[in-house]
Amino acid sequence: MSADDHSHDHGSELSEMQLRVRALETILTEKGYVDPAALDQIVENFETRIGPHIGARVVARAWVDPEFKRRLLADATEAVNSAAGFDPVSNHLIAVENTPQTHNVVVCTLCSCYPAAVLGLPPVWYKSAPYRSRMVIDPRGVLSEFGLTLPSGTDIRIWDSTAETRFVVVPMRPAGTEGWSEEQLAALVTRDSMVGTGLPKSPE
Partner 1 sequence: MTNSAHDMGGMHGFGRVEPEPNEPVFHADWEARVYALQRAMGATGLWTIDGGRASIENLPPLAYLAASYYKRWFLGLERRVVAHGLVGEDEIAAGRALRPGIRLNRKLTAEDAKAVSYPHYDRPSPSPARFKPGDAVRTKNIHPTTHTRLPRYARGKLGTVEAVRGCHVFPDTAALGAGENPQWLYNVVFDARELWGEEADPAIKVSIEAFEPYLAPA
Q: Would you please indicate which residues are annotated as catalytic (active-site) residues?
A: 108, 111-113
Rule CB under 8 A: which of 141-160 touch partner 1? 142, 145-146, 153-160
Rule CB under 8 A: which of 57-86 touch partner 1? none
- What is the smallest separation between the CB atom of 196 and partner 1, expressed in angstroms? 13
Size of the site for partner 1 (CB under 8 A): 80
- Indicate whether 39 belongs to the interface with partner 1 (CB under 8 A): yes
Buried b (16+ CB within 10 A) or exposed e, 33-62: eeeeeeeeeeeeeeeeebbbebbbbbbbbb
Using DSSP's 3-state secondary structure scheme, residue 166 falls into strand
One residue of 65, 83, 112, 187 binding partner 1 per CB under 8 A: 112
Q: Are 99 and 172 in contact (CB under 8 A)?
A: yes
- What is the smallest separation between the CB atom of 179 and partner 1, expressed in angstroms? 31
Q: Are 80 and 95 in contact (CB under 8 A)?
A: no
Q: What is the DSSP letter of 174?
A: P
